[in-house]
Amino acid sequence: MKFTIYQDNRQGGRANNEDRTTYCYSRDALLMVVADGMGGHHYGEIAAQIAVQTFVDAFQEAAQPRLADPFSFLQQNMNRAHLAILDYVERHQMSESPRTTCVACLVQDSIAYWAHVGDSRLYLMRNGRVMVQTKDHSRIRLLVEEGLITEQQAISHPDRNKIYSCLGSPSSPEIDLSRKTPLERDDILLLCTDGLWGVIPGDLIAGRLKDTNLLAALPKLMTHAEKLGGPRGDNLSLVVVRWEDGYVEPESSLISTHTMGLSEVTTRLDEFGRNPNYKSDLSEDEIEAAIEEIRTAIDKFKPGKI
């Protein structure tokens, strides 16, 4: 595999950052995950951390170096993350469950597979156009599809942040799976939270990223989105990959997995409370306790233990 990848997370105008992102890859497979936590008193960020870490742990075990069944992997780990969040709630006797949206994408043999819950989105962009976009599990999306409001009206609608499916809710999540989607050289896959797509539509993003250096263009895009969000803007996060098999980029931006070992996995995941982009006023002891509890919740639902 050859690809260029970029990951970014901005706090926006919020007091805390409850978004989480990750990517990891073996010689033959690439995983990207974005989660947008919901819930007060830091618990939204814990729900999001559980979601991304669940996927990373599973990928590190299953990608040897390929995954046997990408769709099953996505479905099972969405459900595992959901159960791990509920377990965290039960152990802490919380009156209300923290929740998170989540979008995850696997690429293997130049074929993309993805799954999502809530309104974190995936875009497949080709030649400056959006070819595929996930459909949000939101009240607004239902209203648009029923023809009751327009896309333009949806941008400022008072119910634009209400979603009906997520991880961590009392009811089982509605998990949407993609079709097997072959990728062409220079295709762009963009996973992001609503802090980005809510202020810059996908077609505008696709136009800005056409025939450009991703590592130069994406930081500027995020800075622009953060300014558009203003002092009350949401957290905004993304993971973006340009698929480049057969295409040569400068060594500073191109990742090639051809020389990786069969059982080797490279991961980019920030440990809870350890990244300054995820601002939190938790004490060091509270962070350590949260890290241990997240690990306990995830380990409980590993394959063979459920």
Residue 157 pLDDT > 70: no
Nearest to 167 by CA among 238, 94, 84, 92: 84
In a domain, 305, yes or no: no
In a domain, 193, yes or no: yes
- Tell me how many domains the chain contains: 1
Return the percentage of the chain with pLDDT > 90, whole number: 64
Do residues 168 and 46 touch, judged by C-beta distance below 8 A?
A: no
Rounded to whole angstroms, how far apart are CA atoms 197 and 211? 21
Rounded to whole angstroms, how far apart are CA atoms 296 and 87? 9
Q: What is the pLDDT of residues 189-200, one digit of tens each?
A: 999 999 999 999
Buried b (16+ CB within 10 A) or exposed e, 184-202: eeebbbbbbbbbbbbbbeb
pLDDT: which is higher, 6 or 40 = 6
Return the percentage of the chain with pLDDT > 70, whole number: 90
pLDDT at 223: 97
Given pLDDT bands bounded at 50, 70 and 90, which one contains residue 294? confident
What single letter denotes the amino acid at residue 237?
S
pLDDT at 296: 84
Mean pLDDT of 40-59: 90
Residue 106 pLDDT > 90: yes
Residue 40 pLDDT > 70: no
In a domain, 99, yes or no: yes
Rounded to whole angstroms, how far apart are CA atoms 92 and 202? 39
pTM of the model: 0.85
Lowest-pLDDT range of 5-19, 147-161, 176-190 = 147-161
In a domain, 306, yes or no: no
In a domain, 136, yes or no: yes
Instruction: Supply 42's token pair.
Output: 């830091």
pLDDT at 256: 78
Rounded to whole angstroms, how far apart are CA atoms 184 and 278? 34
pLDDT at 42: 66
Whichever domain contains 116, its CATH number is 3.60.40.10
Mean pLDDT of 104-110: 96
Buried b (16+ CB within 10 A) or exposed e, 69-101: ebbebbebbbbbbbbbbbbbbeeeeeeebbbbb
Structural domain range at position 74: 2-300
